[in-house]
Amino acid sequence: MSTSNPAAAVSTKRPCDPSHADPTPPAKLQRSSDPPDPAPAGNPDGATDGGEATGVDSEAMAGTRNPRAQRYLVAVEYVGTRFSGSQQQPNQRTVVGVLEEAFHKFIGQPVSIFCSSRTDAGVHALSNVCHVDVERISKRKPGEVLTPHEPGVVKRAVNHFLQRNEGDIMVTDVRCVAPDFHARYKALERTYHYRLLSGPESTSVFEKSSAWHISEDLDIQAMKKACSILVGHHDFSSFRAAGCQANSPMRTLDELTVTEVFPFMYFPSSIERSEMESSDGSLVYSRTPALESSGKESDGSCSSSGKSETENRKEFGSRLRHRCFVVTARARSFLYHQVRLMVGLLKSVGTGDLTTADVERILNAKTVTAAPPMAPACGLYLANVKYDLSV
């Protein structure tokens, strides 16, 4: 990457949004765990809303707009275990803090960033979305306002400064939006994924902070039945952690599914490589790494008596593969820790500790004390935040 200043751009470029000057006074935003009617967005899972000690945020500031600034919608991905959550906290490394620092270095002045979803420490993001107002001031003529940077310039410049930091967060997309567009309140839908690894083998060092390891086998069919009970419009008080500031526990869960997928760290065995090369190229997957097809045993091998067939067939130094499951939850909004509490319940159903009848009982109990312990943060990923950007 070039070491030249990435913030440089031709000032004669066409502005992103010719209507970025907004003469209307800003609308005052509610400071609440739910956005104003008629489109409540609620409190996303893994979020700490309102004026809690876990984060410093002023949503009301998002309504105070600089008429000379361009508002950008910015999508970011990050490794959640490297941050103390998304929102600003004193003396803590946070997603918003790192982003604001990178933007400050880019444009030479402080900015305020507002996220669509507030993630807890340890929760990852494949795509969290925020908005930021940027006023482009001439460095040669202080006080002179230039046309806004193109989105591609913003993306490259901010990533330049982010990669010079820890490299655990990256801007993946940038879009110019209207001055009153709010990343949180304009969100139509949020999707979360949760990764589960099942099997007796200990977790790889590469997976420890990216999934929840369950040593028992999981019954995926039982988990699917449990998902069908939770989908729909319900009182989710049993999946609402203490501290949730949402006005109502009523939520509509549009999707809750569990799917078995390839493990994240998947490398084909010698037999699988051969099969893939000789077939039509489709994926061939075996949970247990296969032996080399030489048919010979190691001269220095110990007796295999008392060992399982799987252990006898495993190459020295190789690992047994885990089964990998992904739970997907999709809704307009979630209660505080709702997704992780639902995953904790699905895990208990998958191991046989609970039945589908227990799922109905826990849902109807309308108290979080009825639910099993929630899943850890490391397996949760904010996957997508949906908007209508056509208007």
- Alpha-carbon distance 73 to 114, whole Å? 10
Strands 113-115 and 169-177: unpaired
Q: Is 120 a catalytic residue?
A: yes
Name the token pair of 270: 């010698």
Q: Which residues, listed in sequence order, are joined to residue 205 by a DSSP beta bridge? A: none
Q: Cis omega before residue 35 (within 30°)?
A: no
3-class DSSP state of 161: helix
Sign of CA dihedral 241, 247, 253, 254: negative
Size of the chain, expressed as the number of residues it contains: 391
Which residue in 34, 57, 120, 133 is the catalytic one? 120
CA-based nearest residue to 346, from 257, 253, 235: 257
Contact 7, 155 (CB under 8 A): no
229: Cα separation from own chain's centroid: 25
CB 195 within 8 A of CB 212: yes
Contact 38, 197 (CB under 8 A): no
Known catalytic residues are: 120
